[in-house]
Chains A and B, each alone.
Chain A
Amino acid sequence: MSPAPPLIEASSVTQIFAASDGEPSWALKNASLAVAPGEFVCIIGPSGCGKSTLLHMIAGFLTPTEGSLRFRGRPIEAPGPERGVVFQEYALFAWMTVRQNVEFGLKMRGIGKAERRDKARRFLDVVGLAKMADRYPHELSGGMRQRVAVARALVNEPEVLLMDEPFAAVDAITRATLQDELLRLWQEFRISVVFITHNIDEAIFLGERIVVMSAHPGTIRSEVRIDLPYPRDRGSAEFARLYARIGAELYGKGKETR
């Protein structure tokens, strides 16, 4: 039997940074991860365990010290529009309106004005911000900015959306709305999502699979498959059981896997 080839494949990647005293510092050690087409994977772990490092490698911002990364079987060497990235915050271009931000990727790829307008409009509609097209980012709330960031990434029709704690800086109510919207977009566009979070609840609510990482050095500790149907009910017993389990994995309490 040969399973479908993964969309993203990181094989034993290691990243060593130079610490401020010049000594090597291990941000990530021998991490391996495969993401299937259309899969929603959440990565969770304590601060400093190398989550962003791993994501930045997949995005093509960083070259691993050792190990290899492949996208559709081809080595990842640079960032590209097939891998859309949504950052935690401050990533929208402050000097462009919402519309110009969303059109940016299309413009860079030489797509004509009329088509750009059209597509930007459609994707702003998709995230519910069509009326904000002519505003500047500083005139929007944190939640709206992240919606624009998602629209800006999606309009390029990427095959995967790489998200680094995208909802960490917004309030709890907005965060819940954004999570619902993200799930809807994921189902509508059938793309893969790699989603980094600190938040166990968020990981269980969103992911088909949760990758738990641990720090010093950053490694992948375990993977948990979440088989609950969408939309997920935070109040369910199963949700609570998973919550406890992931919590135990994260904080390393005991070694019981079930």
Chain B
Amino acid sequence: MSSATPETAMAGGDAHARELETRFRLALKAQKRRAVMMRVGLNIAGIVLAIVLWEVTRFLPGVNEVLFPPPSIVIAEAIPMIASGEIPNNILVSLKRAGGGFVIAALLAVVVGVLTARLPVFNFLTEPLLHGSRSLPAIALVPLSVLWFGIGEAAKIALVCWGAFFPIWVNTFIGVRDVHPIYLRSAACLGAGRVQTLLWVVLPAALPMILAGLRQSIAISLIVLVAAELSGATAGVAYMMSMGHQLFRVDVMFIGLFLLAALGFLADRLFVALTRKLFPWYASSH
């Protein structure tokens, strides 16, 4: 019946319309591909430009190649370290720590965020503790953690977890607290119970905030990771840098910096891509 429904596919069913649709689809696809290629191209161009400028610095007067090594030296140094497995191993070790801490933090923080936002008693009970702990920088706990737990993996994962917990918790709390009442009312009058409302309505509605918290915490995980590895580790990207420091190998320190930047950037991109894939309604409604 209802007339006001615009049709997408097969409008009218005539050959011309169908051909027009085909052309439209192809053009749209090509346009999207061009946009992606242009973006990636410019990203790469930016990196190349920075490397070239950096390389040029060696010809400037007063620049000490040992203190500020140009990329050619850094790369020449990095290649054998990659080939020997030293760099990949350090990356893996660091990723395990940062990733492990982040995942544990994410699970805990979402649960605690939902509980604090939905149960006033739990919220009031934990409010002073959580907000007090939140203002402690995770880095301030590093010395204590080394003293208590030594330099084992668990201590580092716990530190990362501590740092990553708070942004996710705060954002989940706000997201759940501020779910539009119309959503809750809709769910209630459609017959949803408490748990069902939480799973199908509250969490998805709070998702944009939860994702924002997760994204913030990815960056924080790396910061805490570095702090933890600098003060006692036997492997890892930041450990490698501290070795570079002790052996006065600035080139190795640069390799570490570059790896950290790349890890942070890639983790963030991966997160955004995953979000798009998993939550199409969220990505496309913004």
B185→A174 contact, CB < 8 A = no
* Contact between B201 and A80, CB atoms less than 8 A apart: no
Distance in Å from the Cβ of A15 to the closest Cβ of chain B? 16
Q: Give the size category of B's interface with A.
A: 20 to 34
Given the contacts A95-B205, A136-B281, A87 and B2 also touching, CB distance less than 8 Å: no
Interface SS, B side:
helix
Interface pair B188/A78, CB less than 8 Å apart: yes
**Measured between alpha carbons, how far is A82 from B40 in the docked complex, in Å?**
54
CA distance A84 to B188 in the complex (A): 10
**0/1 string, B248-286, CB within 8 A of A gives 1:** 000000000000000000000000000000011110110
Give B172-207 as 1s and 0s: 1 = Cβ < 8 Å from A's Cβ atoms.
000000001011011111111100100011001101
Interface with A: B3-11, B100-108, B126-134, B219-227, which one? B3-11
Name the A residues within 8 Å of B4 (CB-CB).
Answer: 128, 141, 143-144, 174, 177
> Which of A6-14, A101-109, A205-213 lies at the binding interface?
A101-109
Q: How many residues of A contact B (CB 8 A)?
A: 38
Contacts of B190 in A (CB 8 A): 81, 84, 104-105, 108, 152-153, 156
> What is the bound-complex CA distance between A104 and B185, given in angstroms?
13
Query: B2 contacts A127, CB within 8 Å?
Result: yes
Residues in chain A near residue B201, CB distance under 8 A? 93
Given contacts A79-B188, A105-B190, A108-B196, contact A136 B285 (CB under 8 A): yes
Chain B residue with minimal CB distance to A180? B2
- Find out whether the CB atom of A94 lies under 8 angstroms from the CB atom of B186: no
Closest to B279 in A: A95
* B-side contacts of A85, CB under 8 Å: 185-186, 189
How far is B183's CA from A91's CA once the two chains are assembled, in angstroms? 6
**Cα distance A11–B146 when bound, in Å?**
69
CA distance A78 to B201 in the complex (A): 18
Contact present for A138 and B285 (CB under 8 Å): yes
Residues of A within 8 A of B185 (CB): 59, 61, 79, 85, 87, 91
In this assembly, does A132 line the interface, its C-beta being within 8 Å of a C-beta of chain B? yes
The complex places the Cα of A138 from the Cα of B286 at a distance, in Å, of 10
B281 touches A94 (CB 8 A): yes
Give A78's nearest chain B residue, CB to CB: B188
A-B contact pairs, 9 of them (CB 8 A): A81-B189, A84-B189, A104-B192, A105-B190, A108-B196, A128-B4, A131-B7, A131-B8, A143-B4
